[in-house]
Amino acid sequence: MSTMFFISLFDFFLPRFCPGCKQKLSAEQKYICDDCINSIPLATNSLIKIEYQRKFSDKKLISGFTAPFIFEKDKELQHIIHSIKYSKKFAVGNRLGEIIAEISGDEIKTWRIDFIVPVPLHHLKKANRGYNQSFYIAKGLGKSLNIPVNQSILKRVKFTQTQTALSLVERQENIGDAFKVKKTKTVKGKNILIIDDVITTGATLNECARILKEVGANKIYASSSAIAE
């Protein structure tokens, strides 16, 4: 009997729902429905270039970044990310990582990444939530592109308040000295891809890149599911 048969049987007793629109998923849909995927606006190359200029170019820490989608408040992608963050939808996180690979994989391959590092959560936040949502996105991406994920390189040592309500300058101050590199030897001379769920100001990614470079990382790149303007 085919896997599809079992998925159909499973769906009959325990229907699966798309986290983006709450509609029932069909057997062949993998965690997120096609309607949702198709309605999330794609980040064009020119938008990525503009956002790179705004968030990363003057600091010269991040050598390149990519994100398949544009983040919109109260829309499908926000619901999808919330389901990973707050409802333990790990498979959805993995799927989002696969989608990043499908759309941005060719560019990421040109960066010759040695390993992927998800932006870490503070251990108190992690203890509270039980997991780091960016890790699952990183895992899906890494598996698709055959790049290892290293979760233990970076540690968050400062409990930062939620960044959302802060201005750009406040965010940069808030994030200062928030991270520590744990395995400096592993980092030396390596090209590292940092994964965050959504890129907002870029302050977190710049700070991660800064400390990784401080201990001898070669080039730091960044990726996320979406870019917020």
* Nearest distance in Å: CB 109, Zn ion: 29
Please, which residue, 36 or 205, has the CB nearer to Zn ion? 36
* Nearest distance in Å: CB 35, Zn ion: 5
Please, which residue, 96 or 153, has the CB nearer to Zn ion? 96
* Nearest distance in Å: CB 2, Zn ion: 24
Under DSSP, is residue 224 helix (H, G, I), strand (E, B) or coil? Answer: strand
Under DSSP, is residue 42 helix (H, G, I), strand (E, B) or coil? Answer: strand
* Nearest distance in Å: CB 95, Zn ion: 12
Exposed/middle/buried for 92, CB within 10 Å: 0-12, 13-18, 19+?
buried
Amino acid at 59: K
* Nearest distance in Å: CB 18, Zn ion: 3
Please, which residue, 22 or 60, has the CB nearer to Zn ion? 22
Spatial contact of 143 and 137, defined as CB atoms under 8 Å apart: no
Spatial contact of 187 and 161, defined as CB atoms under 8 Å apart: no
Please, which residue, 20 or 120, has the CB nearer to Zn ion? 20
DSSP state of 165: G
* Nearest distance in Å: CB 14, Zn ion: 18
Euclidean distance between CA atoms 100 and 159, whole angstroms: 29
Under DSSP, is residue 228 helix (H, G, I), strand (E, B) or coil? Answer: coil
Please, which residue, 76 or 207, has the CB nearer to Zn ion? 76
> Kind of pairing, strands 179-181 and 154-156?
antiparallel
Please, which residue, 36 or 192, has the CB nearer to Zn ion? 36
Q: Any alpha helices (H) in the chain, and if so which ranges?
A: 3-13, 34-39, 45-52, 76-86, 90-110, 123-129, 133-145, 168-175, 184-187, 203-214
Q: Which residues bind Zn ion (CB under 5 A)?
A: 18, 20-21, 33, 36
